[in-house]
Structure 1
Amino acid sequence: MSSMLSPVDLMPSGIEHGNITLVAITSVFTFLSTVAVILRFISRRISVSVKWDDWFSLIALLLAYGCLVVTVLDATIAHGGYNIEYYSAATLEKFLKITLAENVLYAASISFSKAAVLLLYHRIFNIKKSFRIASWIVGFLVAGYFITGECLLIFAYNPIEAQWKPWLPNSANFNIIATWYVMSSINMVVDFLILCLPQPVVWRLKMSRKKKILLSGLFCFGILICIADMMHIVCVVTQVDINNPTATEGTTGIWENVEVNLSVIVTCLPTFPSLISHWRKGPRSGSGSYDNEYKKSLNNGDFPRMGNSTTFSYGSGREQNSMDKVSYGSSYNMDHMGPVHVQTDVRVKWDGQSHHSLGSMV
């Protein structure tokens, strides 16, 4: 490896054209994922409260920002995009360190996005024991992918320092290329499982076919991540040359960053219907509390709403003068779905106009 390196950098001083495209695409998708997370938190704040799945989405976004930063560093101080013989040892070391950091951040970000989706499923579809078991199994697969992937990235070579100083005497702890293929394939399979997991539950819900299609479609947007997974694998297989990574990782980097940000965006999509419903009803009135607006949306029978923030209101025949904090658990039978445990945590006004209605999904 050292015989391939130049004593000084021979590449042009400007940013390589392919890296300009890489930075531009990454910036656009990072902006879109930022907007998605902001809208997610707005939706959660005006509906019920921020939950664990929201925080995991935020962590995934912060890690996506890390991917953007290292992408910019790769294009600037590391001068990525040129053949390896143009690099001095010092510049190649910078490039390889930055590449390792980007791969570590990538694996972490997509893992937190997957975990956010599973936490959302567990919260809104915590209905049947079989679904809970299935979601936990997929959750362990995600955790296993994250831990294994990070360890394989960091401990690929002995000594570890050979990751960014390949001219040192070293030995690979495993077949690097084969490991990339296997981990990328596992990533795609897990994404497909997460995509399919809620579909049987959605189609057994007691709601109109139109609402089932809408709800199912929201979760089916995960197919975009599967497509990005596939393109990432194709680029790794067809374009990456482990002996010349500086010139062959550009397109792979594009799909890697697209996948990271698409994962964040798709994670946030199921929270948007309640936000759209709120905006359609105009600004809040009265004391500024969302309680009355939330109750009206329930009584109007808007978008189907589920989960541990669900409100079931019963008319008592007379109006009470106080606002009651509802915090109890009850069991309801939904035909083919078995007993459903409902935990309410919103403030509602009990009156004769109230009726059975599913609460806010997210």
Structure 2
Amino acid sequence: MQDLRPLSYAVISILYVLGTVTIAMRIYVRGFTMRAFGLDDWAMTAMLVFNSCQQALLYYFLQFGGGLHITQVMTEHPEWLPLLLKGLLAEEFWYIWMQFSVKMCFLLFYFRLSKASQFRMALWGVIGFHIATTVVIWLLYGLQCRPLAAFYDPASYPGVKCLSTDVTYFVPYSLNMTTDLLILFLPLPVVWNLKMTLKRRLAVLA
């Protein structure tokens, strides 16, 4: 069976380096060149730590069978399966935290766009919605099996019924997509009303 681990290691390592360099460049420009370091920049700085933790989780996942067909793992390394599922469970929670943090960087940056009360109220509303949906998704993952240990050790809990993967996939996806659309459309009226040429407004929106 095809082993996707070498390709996976290469892809995630390259993307990690690119992401780290990009964040470092932003920190340098905002902090030393423009001298306009704000709360959104501090949030982006924290992403260096968060992204490193994400990278460690991905390496852990690949170490214990990620990138291999599940039948190959169960046949050749059955002892990996609980570790693989523990990594998957940890990734579920951490991935939502990563999404929360990245989107908060955007939302905190939006405070720079306008001080208009209506825009600020809408912005706080989106932040509140973002926090609420993140908590809902975490609760969903935390309660998907009762006890939660049945997720990574189903053999020890033969009578436990866990939530369908349709639920644990569709609900987070729907909530995240809704938040993405809110973040996308929230600044459009502010940017469109800026006193600049149409060409430049379109460039800013892009």
- Bin for the TM-score computed over the shorter chain: 0.7 to 0.9
Tell me which residue corresponds to 1:168: 156
Q: Residue 192 in 1 paired to residue 178 in 2?
A: no
User: How many angstroms apart in 1 are the aligned matches of 2:41 and 2:145?
Assistant: 36
Aligned pairs for 1:32-47 (under 5 A) are 32-45=18-31, 46-47=33-34
Question: Pairwise CA RMSD of aligned residues?
Answer: 2.0
Tell me which residue corresponds to 1:55: 42
User: How many angstroms apart in 1 are the aligned matches of 2:160 and 2:96?
Assistant: 24
Q: 1:207 aligns with which of 174, 196, 202?
A: 196
Tell me which residue corresponds to 2:116: 128
User: How many angstroms apart in 2 are the aligned matches of 1:156 and 1:104?
Assistant: 12
How far did residue 20 of structure 1 move? 2.1
Give the counterpart letter for 1:63 in structure 2: F
Q: Residue 146 in 1 paired to residue 146 in 2?
A: no
Tell me which residue corresponds to 1:113: 102
Give the counterpart letter for 1:39 in structure 2: M
How far did residue 62 of structure 1 move? 2.4
User: How many angstroms apart in 1 are the aligned matches of 2:89 and 2:95?
Assistant: 10
Tell me which residue corresponds to 1:103: 92
Tell me which residue corresponds to 1:79: 65
How far did residue 34 of structure 1 move? 0.8
TM-score by length of 1: 0.52
Q: Structure 1 regions of 5+ residues with no counterpart?
A: 1-11, 218-362
Tell me which residue corresponds to 1:24: 10
Report the CA distance shift for 1:105/1:200 in structure 2 as closer, same or farther (over 3 A). same
Aligned residue pair count: 201
CA contact (8 A) 2:27 2:45 kept: no
User: How many angstroms apart in 2 are the aligned matches of 1:89 and 1:157?
Assistant: 22
How far did residue 88 of structure 1 move? 5.2
Report the CA distance shift for 1:130/1:87 in structure 2 as closer, same or farther (over 3 A). farther
Aligned pairs for 1:60-71 (under 5 A) are 60-71=47-58
Q: Percent identity?
A: 25
Per chain length, whose mean CA-contact separation is higher, i.e. which structure has more relative contact order (CA < 8 Å, sep 6+)?
1
CA offsets 1:168-205 (integer angstroms, 9 cap, x no match) = 22534643422311211221221122111111111101
Structure (1 or 2) with the greater strand fraction: 1
User: How many angstroms apart in 2 are the aligned matches of 1:55 and 1:168?
Assistant: 44
Report the CA distance shift for 1:126/1:172 in structure 2 as closer, same or farther (over 3 A). farther
Q: Residue 179 in 1 paired to residue 168 in 2?
A: yes
